[in-house]
Structure 1
Amino acid sequence: MTSFGEELLAVYDNVHARLLARLDGLTDDEYLWEPVPGGWSLRPGADGVPRAEKTEPDPVPAPFTSIAWRMWHIGVECLDVYVKLAFDKFPVGVGGWPGEAAVWPGTAAEAIAELDGDFARFRARISGLDDAALAHGCGPLTEEIHVFTYLGLMFRAVDEITHHGAEIALLRDLYRHRAAVSAT
């Protein structure tokens, strides 16, 4: 008999595989493409190291974001921060937010590899929990990440990956068809 946790991990693995399949062949130009002026992307800081643009709190409405930014968001703001807050018990408010100043790869190939590693690290931590442990409290993690159990955290991860993965897929479609759109 399959446990609830195993079924949820199967969904997580499926979402992961679908996103990686949609990232296949991603070029650096497409990765950093900014279809809307004034949006957020990945930019080198004063030290030359690429970081995602971000302000707290998010402006309303939030700026349009590039594929690079969305990949960073899934990898750092979601999966990496979830591990730090829920498993490593990173103390929020001490030393800043755990995703702050996170370095993110400036090339598509390196970003895909980094994102894949973030998927694996989160999966390794969540897969170590049985169904009873999934029901245990892990939060609320922050005011923004308002989940109370590891199960809720897993649902949030799947939701974020699905939501932003769909946006990435749409941006790839728009990039591929941009010449036809601008010709009309």
Structure 2
Amino acid sequence: MTTPPRLVPLLEQFDFARKRLTDRMAGPVSDSGNGVDVDVAPMTDEEYRWEPAPGCWSIRRRVDGPGPSAAFLVGAGGWGRDSADSPHPSPPPFTTIAWRLSHLSEMLALRADHTDGSHRLTREDHPVAADAAGAIRVFDSAATAWRAVLLGADDAALDTVGFSRYPYGSDPEDLFIETVWWVNQELLHHGAEIALIRDLYRARQH
């Protein structure tokens, strides 16, 4: 199927943001921003779960229970992500790379499912990876699933309200092209946050 022309720049932006984040986490090099590759060490497990401020939200062993100001852990498996019912604590807790990457991966995977899948997955079905390498693999799988949805979208889909039935956002009330835009900004801004936390972690060791 031919990609609708107005979807092309959004798809290219998604691909750019996805690659830049993956390279920034896994290395061995990443685009510095001016076209020059810089060396990047793979993210370690310690860095992945580093809590740079008191009271962080992160991922935790389910047997240990939720962290400060969190009410429960979401996700599948032996680890979960700190969460609470709305309204969340104010000001919001600082979140670790592990928390942000788990949130981002879950959002991509569940949106893919609720757009062109079973329409049944919940946050409790999404795996929370305990280690950095595993989390990068989960992210890659989720991003691949969402990209497949985009490649299958035609002009009629882009103009359909509720084409995505993702239950944890406004998707059921939005045009699908607005959902596509929203997902891109989520990937861009969380990717930038993860990159900054990597910089801070590296700086603390000097």
| Among candidates 22, 36, 48, match of residue 53 of structure 2 | 36
Scaled by the length of structure 2, the TM-score of the pair is: 0.76
| Among candidates 35, 45, 68, match of residue 98 of structure 2 | 68
C-alpha distance in structure 2 between counterparts of 1:140 and 1:80, whole Å: 12
Structure 2 equivalent of residue 114 of structure 1: 138
C-alpha distance in structure 1 between counterparts of 2:142 and 2:168, whole Å: 20
1:15-34 alpha-carbon deviations (Å, 9 max, x no partner): 10111111121111100101
The answer to whether the 8 A contact 1:84-1:98 is kept is no
CA apart distance, 1:135: 1.4
* SS in structure 1 at match of 2:139: helix
Q: Which amino acid aligns with 2:115?
A: A
Distance change in 2, residues 1:151/1:16 (3 Å): same
Distance change in 2, residues 1:140/1:111 (3 Å): closer
CA apart distance, 1:36: 1.0
CA apart distance, 1:131: 2.5
* SS in structure 2 at match of 1:53: strand
| Among candidates 161, 180, 184, match of residue 154 of structure 1 | 180
Q: Which amino acid aligns with 2:96?
A: S
* SS in structure 2 at match of 1:103: coil
**Higher helix proportion (structure 1 or 2):** 1
Structure 1 equivalent of residue 201 of structure 2: 175
Single out whichever of 140-149 and 121-130 deviates more from structure 2: 140-149
Query: Percent identical across equivalent pairs?
Result: 34
CA apart distance, 1:11: 1.0
Kindly indicate whether residue 84 of structure 2 is the aligned counterpart of residue 82 of structure 1.
no
CA apart distance, 1:150: 1.5
The answer to whether the 8 A contact 1:140-1:146 is kept is no
The 5 A counterparts of 1:4-153 are: 4-24=6-26, 25-46=42-63, 49-57=78-86, 58-76=88-106, 78-88=107-117, 90=119, 98-100=122-124, 102-138=126-162, 141=165, 145-147=169-171, 148-153=174-179
C-alpha distance in structure 2 between counterparts of 1:138 and 1:13, whole Å: 24
RMSD: 2.4
* SS in structure 1 at match of 2:95: coil
The answer to whether the 8 A contact 2:157-2:163 is kept is no
Runs (5+) with no aligned partner, structure 2: 27-41, 65-76
The answer to whether the 8 A contact 1:80-1:122 is kept is yes
**Higher strand proportion (structure 1 or 2):** 2
The answer to whether the 8 A contact 2:111-2:166 is kept is no
1:58-101 alpha-carbon deviations (Å, 9 max, x no partner): 2222111100000001001x21221233334736xxxxx82136
CA apart distance, 1:179: 3.4
Aligned residues: 174
Q: Which amino acid aligns with 2:152?
A: G
The answer to whether the 8 A contact 1:51-1:102 is kept is no
Q: Which amino acid aligns with 2:128?
A: W
